[in-house]
Amino acid sequence: MQTIDQLVLDENNIAFHPMMGNSYKLNSVSKEILLLLKLHKSKDDIIKELAAKYDVRENELFIDVSDFMSKLKVYGLA
């Protein structure tokens, strides 16, 4: 998660990676996931936190969080 630690997140849901010079537009939930990853939370911890906050079942969140984390790998961020 070293690359994720380098991301700068702003109030407009933009993630900027200063070393790569790339910016990424996020929705509010993806920004929340990134913030939790920056705190070194595990995927299971993230799912539990989101399930407690939103009216979504953990098995649905597992799919969504897993998909988001896969996309981070595609973009070279994880």
Say which CATH architecture domain 2-74 belongs to.
Answer: Orthogonal Bundle (1.10)
Q: Within the chain, what is the greatest distance between any pair of CA atoms?
A: 37
pLDDT in tens, 55-70: 999 999 999 999 999 9
d(CA 5, CA 76): 13
> How does pLDDT run across 3-57, given as a tens digit for each residue?
899 999 999 999 999 988 999 999 999 999 999 999 999 999 999 999 999 999 9
Give counts: helices (H), strands (E), the chain.
Answer: 4, 3
65: which 2 tokens? 């969080």
Q: Where are the domains of the chain?
A: 2-74
Tokens 């939370």, located at residue: 41
Give residue 72's identity as a one-letter amino acid code.
Answer: L
Q: Give dist(CA 58, CA 47) in Å, integer.
A: 6
Flag whether the pTM goes above 0.85: yes
